[in-house]
Amino acid sequence: MGLLDGLRAALGLRAETDARRDADPDDLFGMSTAYLTMEADLGYESLDIGALCFSGVDSHSFSETVDEVVSILEAGQEETGTEFSVSEDDHGYHWVILEDDDPEDLITSMHFAADTFIERDYGSRLLAAVFAYADRDGDPAYWIYSFRRGAYYPFAPRDGRERDSGAEFKLESALDGELEIEREKEYWYPLWPSERGTHPWE
């Protein structure tokens, strides 16, 4: 199974078939308290950036939906200060990337974007929401919300496409009960960046 097939299986159709609960964009607000726990209890700081991953579809209606997401984020930009961009990665997935030094505003903007897809009947195209952190040594860690599973899981990538499983299990233990955690580890799918990238959306 290739990388693209694996991502489709973990975050796509197989995840939807095996889903334990319905995805709810309101789950994203769980990060509003989780980032405080990450900082106070674990020493992780928010990197003030997150992203929404979705798969595209070649239709005029879907293009209009993406345009509507952009319009909503542009309208809220003056109030929240959330910077954003839309891009496509090397695997053909699309991302709405958001930056804001206020985690509450970042989460709210991401929720608006996700909710727009759902209201326009394209919720099935949503794959994941990703929130970026770094520990005191600068090592990255991400909380990934799978829309197909309705649950979060940690991802701590290291050089050489290795994962720090110890860090991931520590994050799982600390945030269990605060976030809806994915119990089946087979769905803790790594979202590696491209060779030139730093974050999963690059």
Q: What is the dihedral of CA 189, 179, 138, 73, to 10 degrees?
A: 90
- Over its C-alpha atoms, the chain yields an Rg (Å, rounded) of 16
The residues pairing with 130 across neighbouring beta strands, listed in sequence order, are: 51, 144
CATH number of the domain residue 176 falls in: 3.30.70
Q: Report if residue 196 sits inside a domain.
A: no
Please tell me the distance from the alpha carbon of residue 120 to that of residue 63, in angstroms, as a whole number: 11
Please tell me the distance from the alpha carbon of residue 37 to that of residue 1, in angstroms, as a whole number: 37
**Which tens digit of pLDDT belongs to each residue from 125-182?**
999 999 999 999 999 999 999 998 999 999 999 988 899 999 999 999 999 999 999 9
Q: Report if residue 129 sits inside a domain.
A: yes
Identify the sign of the CA torsion 79, 101, 53, 118.
negative
Q: Report if residue 194 sits inside a domain.
A: no
| Mutual angle of helices 103-119 and 60-80, in 10-degree steps | 160
Q: Report if residue 56 sits inside a domain.
A: yes
Q: Report if residue 139 sits inside a domain.
A: yes
Q: Which domain holds residue 105?
A: 3-187
Q: Report if residue 28 sits inside a domain.
A: yes
Q: Above pLDDT 90, what percent of the chain? A: 74
The full DSSP string for 72-88 is HHHHHHHHH--EEEEEE
Please tell me the distance from the alpha carbon of residue 59 to that of residue 40, in angstroms, as a whole number: 45
CA distances from 147 to 11, 28, 45 (A): 8, 10, 24
In a structure prediction context, what are the per-residue pLDDT tens digits for the chain, which is 202 residues long? 334 445 555 554 554 445 455 668 899 999 999 999 999 999 999 999 999 999 988 899 999 999 999 999 999 888 889 999 999 988 889 999 999 999 999 999 999 999 999 999 999 899 999 999 999 999 999 999 999 899 999 999 998 889 999 999 999 999 999 999 999 999 999 999 887 788 999 8
Please tell me the distance from the alpha carbon of residue 55 to that of residue 187, in angstroms, as a whole number: 18
pLDDT at 24: 83
Q: Report if residue 199 sits inside a domain.
A: no
Please tell me the distance from the alpha carbon of residue 132 to that of residue 200, in angstroms, as a whole number: 10
Q: Report if residue 151 sits inside a domain.
A: yes
Closest CA to 184 of 156, 157, 146, 158: 146
Looking at the structure of the chain, the number of domains it has is 1
In the sheet with 94-99, reading across from the earlier edge strand, the strands are 83-88, 94-99, 45-54, 126-134, 140-146, 151-155
